[in-house]
Structure 1
């Protein structure tokens, strides 16, 4: 039986193989990959909409690490390790609004929302709240490097990736017309899908249009396979675009307001990209969305979908219809990515082959993962 290696994945698409089964099933391989692909790059963690008000805090476990997403009193979004510097106790167990300081439930050490350690009760003995051996200035919360783009909070756990704006300058320039305020559609415009698959299969399915005629017949009825084009930026992102975007209309013919000043391409155009590693984006003339892929385990992914608009006062009923429409599309993909995950249990599968014409965006993602893992080994 032929064993697929990383060099086979990085080969030209005409002879390349997909990632070996171990990258979807083997804990040791996936742990190595997680460090190279998720922890050492800018990975999507959450959205600013998850913490809309000052003091809002959400505990998140990502790649096994306990993190705390927090909006401070100045409105800045921060990410900290969700542990007290005293004994490593979890600080915030459930999403909540923090009115004053962040207080450890164990020994009541307290931290400002900026992470600064502000109180250490009885640390020097009963009634003695300071001690020469405890330097509060050096014992603040450990902040995780973060960056916000299109309301997605990206984190670099390793702390040594290039600046986000440098790493992703190309896609930021591509969508510079959409650098406008985004207004989250509210509770009805966010939903979560739990999928029994490795997160990478969700990426590689999303970034290609090859599957549309069979998996999305409703969408394909007006935005056909031949109406799509590839988006390929090696080492950064890949995806698909459509020349035929049809705006949602209510019974009176009303639509969502457009983003300001868009070029003619966006009258009927739309684009859908996978920003490596784990965030999926879609942009249209009148709304946009993000999907953050949370790698819950080797074979379990949670998809966090959030939908945004160009104005804060869009029609609630139309927003609900839009969310329902997208949810239907995304749910249609579940049997595919779960089926591919089940297929990775077949020992004779060599990673599969790519259509040289139709699978370019997916091959780019596989090659990027393989390149990151190979570089980590070197």
Structure 2
């Protein structure tokens, strides 16, 4: 029988009695390294969006938890993720975002790979003028592919390669938003922005999934979508978040709004939902637009948030689209001081992980339980 760490056991208690994860899980590099495998490696994590590589040959290098990865759209129009290293000597292949016109060429010894990952050229590998060797089997030396899946334009990756198929792992959340299983159109350059936060990635997830803070942190939003208009969403081991019964569409001076997604249930006429998909993706859906936020941790105390907005139609009014992006940027920026304040608070030695409101903090506690359970399982199987 596995004996669980008593600190993690406290996290797993019912919400009214539980405590949150202790300080070290927000400040200690050793705990951050443990969470890379326990929380990110074994399941499906968000890396980027497919819209980052919109055209064939587009390639974007990404450092994810210190792992050098390459997001690329191949000649077959498929989006893939590879380790961004040459199989010869481990040299980084692509340093900056660019279009691959021919092959991916290693700058060290010019080994070349197709955009689908096959090793296609090995100059002088058998000696000057000899580009092959009987002991170099190109078919076994393609780029190392990272298992990936695209859903809601998010490129999800499974670093361990051992997670259930994405559709099985995410079946419940896919079913919850079945109405929105239809084309998404990225709003373009003015519909994406990045926020740098001096705080642990988990604090961003915890804050996003609850509505408790709305009256004090988001007074503008709370003026029409009030705290009492919200409800909690909790799905053990997968996601938690909040929904609102009052969503107000953005309109221009002539009263025009964005086109709605097709054939939505009537509950979406005035409703919206916001989910934290564990570990690091935050999604929102509305009748006329959606968004995805992908968190990329940079050590225990810093996080970059990549925000993308989507619409039901590729044709959107420029002014209205920009206003929508600006409006959401204000909302998300309002959360930064909270995340950074909690991060500084994790340096207080007397803080024991905190307590949860049984009525309001269920979604946050749901996330803590998921993290504690994954960490305990990881320790038991090491």
* TM-score, reference length from structure 2: 0.98
Determine the structure 2 residue equivalent to 1:279. Answer: 281
Determine the structure 2 residue equivalent to 1:51. Answer: 53
Residue 74 of structure 1 deviates from its aligned partner by 1.2
Determine the structure 2 residue equivalent to 1:322. Answer: 324
Contact 1:9-1:19 at 8 Å conserved across structures: yes
Of residues 292, 295, 304 in structure 2, which corresponds to 1:293? 295
| 1:302 partner SS | strand
Determine the structure 2 residue equivalent to 1:227. Answer: 229
Do residues 342 (structure 1) and 317 (structure 2) align? no
Residue 4 of structure 1 deviates from its aligned partner by 6.8
Contact 2:29-2:299 at 8 Å conserved across structures: no
Whole-angstrom distance in 1 between the partners of 2:261 and 2:23 = 43
Q: Deviations over 1:231-255 (max 9, x none)?
A: 1101000000000000000000000
Q: Deviations over 1:46-91 (max 9, x none)?
A: 0001000000000001111100000001110000000000111000
Contact 1:4-1:20 at 8 Å conserved across structures: no
| 1:204 partner SS | helix
Determine the structure 1 residue equivalent to 2:71. Answer: 69
Determine the structure 1 residue equivalent to 2:167. Answer: 165
Q: Deviations over 1:25-51 (max 9, x none)?
A: 011112112210011111100000100
Determine the structure 2 residue equivalent to 1:104. Answer: 106
Of residues 9, 13, 16 in structure 2, which corresponds to 1:14? 16
Contact 1:4-1:351 at 8 Å conserved across structures: no
Determine the structure 2 residue equivalent to 1:121. Answer: 123
Moved over 4 A (4+): none
Whole-angstrom distance in 2 between the partners of 1:280 and 1:133 = 47
Determine the structure 1 residue equivalent to 2:313. Answer: 311
CA root-mean-square deviation:
0.8
Of residues 114, 136, 151 in structure 2, which corresponds to 1:149? 151
> How many aligned residue pairs are there?
376
Determine the structure 1 residue equivalent to 2:189. Answer: 187
Of residues 126, 135, 138 in structure 1, which corresponds to 2:140? 138
| 2:149 partner SS | strand
Unaligned runs of 5+ in 1: none
Whole-angstrom distance in 2 between the partners of 1:117 and 1:184 = 33
Whole-angstrom distance in 2 between the partners of 1:358 and 1:314 = 37
Whole-angstrom distance in 2 between the partners of 1:305 and 1:94 = 20
Whole-angstrom distance in 1 between the partners of 2:102 and 2:199 = 41
Contact 1:192-1:303 at 8 Å conserved across structures: yes
Of 238-247 and 29-38, deviating more is 29-38
Unaligned runs of 5+ in 2: none
| 1:340 partner SS | helix
Determine the structure 2 residue equivalent to 1:81. Answer: 83
Q: Deviations over 1:111-163 (max 9, x none)?
A: 01110000001111111000001000000000000011100001111111111
Determine the structure 1 residue equivalent to 2:216. Answer: 214
Contact 1:4-1:350 at 8 Å conserved across structures: no
Whole-angstrom distance in 2 between the partners of 1:301 and 1:61 = 13
